Amino acid sequence: MPDVAVVGGGPAGLSAALFTAKNGLETVVFDTDETWMHKAHLFNYPGIRSISGSEFMTVTRGQVRDRGADVREDEEVTDVEPIGDGGFTVETTDDAYDADYVVLATGADRSIAEDLAVEFADDGTVDVDLDTETSIDDLYATGAMVRDEEWQAVIAAGDGASAALDILSKEKGEHFHDFDVPDDVA
């Protein structure tokens, strides 16, 4: 059973998965590979001078897998349901899974959030707090689905990281910082 199920594998979802998997949470990413990134070329992602969006996806998926996440590029999520005593059941085209946390990262497609009846803002985006948590505990929404027009890859990745840090802080029972320093790096 995964600790964290990420729905959508664009920059937001992969970023969330990178942090949670790297820090010991069993993490699965379900994706249908319809990310806008396949239409983009990035000159505005700090640390990367120039990269096609598709190449960015290949590199980032590899990075996330390197850190232990299970990234499924062709498994669509069809339903997410809260479980009475906490956690969620995630139904996909292949199977059903229980997870303690769900991170929604489905781009501009907000249909799963609508089905879950989370609160929406007046502009039609999913209403989240600074940690990207929705009105349902342990359910996060990240990236294009929580933004009216600020659609940039680095912003989506930041949203995913915020969700992951909040999940990790809950799990560790204190504010968690994913700090690596040169002495630690193998």
Among positions 3, 26, 32, 158, the unique one binding ligand FAD when judged by CB under 6 A: 32
Q: Interface with ligand FAD includes 37 (CB under 6 A)?
A: yes
Concatenating the DSSP letter of every residue in 31-87 gives: --S--GGGG-EES-STT-S-EEHHHHHHHHHHHHHHTT-EEETT--EEEEEE-TTS-
Q: Say how far apart CA 160 and CA 102 lie, in whole Å.
A: 12
Minimum distance from CB of 126 to ligand FAD (Å)? 11
Smallest separation, CB 121 to ligand FAD (Å): 16
Residue 143 interacts with ligand FAD (CB under 6 A)?
yes
Q: Which amino acid is at 180?
A: D
Interface size with ligand FAD, residues (CB under 6 A): 33
How many angstroms separate the Cα of 162 from the Cα of each of 95, 121, 130? Answer: 28, 19, 8
By CB under 6 A, which span of 40-48, 60-68, 115-123, 174-182 interacts with ligand FAD? 40-48
From 2, 5, 8, 134, residue interacting with ligand FAD (rule: CB under 6 A): 8
Secondary structure tally for the chain: helices H, strands E: 4, 10
Q: Tell whether residue 2 is a contact of ligand FAD (CB under 6 A).
A: no
**For ligand FAD, the closer CB: 87 or 160:** 160
CA distance 81 to 42: 36
User: What is the distance between the alpha carbons of residues 5 and 125, in angstroms, rounded to a whole number?
Assistant: 21
Residue closer to ligand FAD by CB (options 25, 156) is 156
Binding residue for ligand FAD (CB under 6 A) from 6, 17, 18, 40?
40
Q: Which helix (H) or strand (E) holds 15?
A: helix 11-22
Name the site residues for ligand FAD (rule: CB under 6 A): 7-13, 30-37, 39-42, 44, 76-77, 105-107, 109, 143-144, 151-154, 156
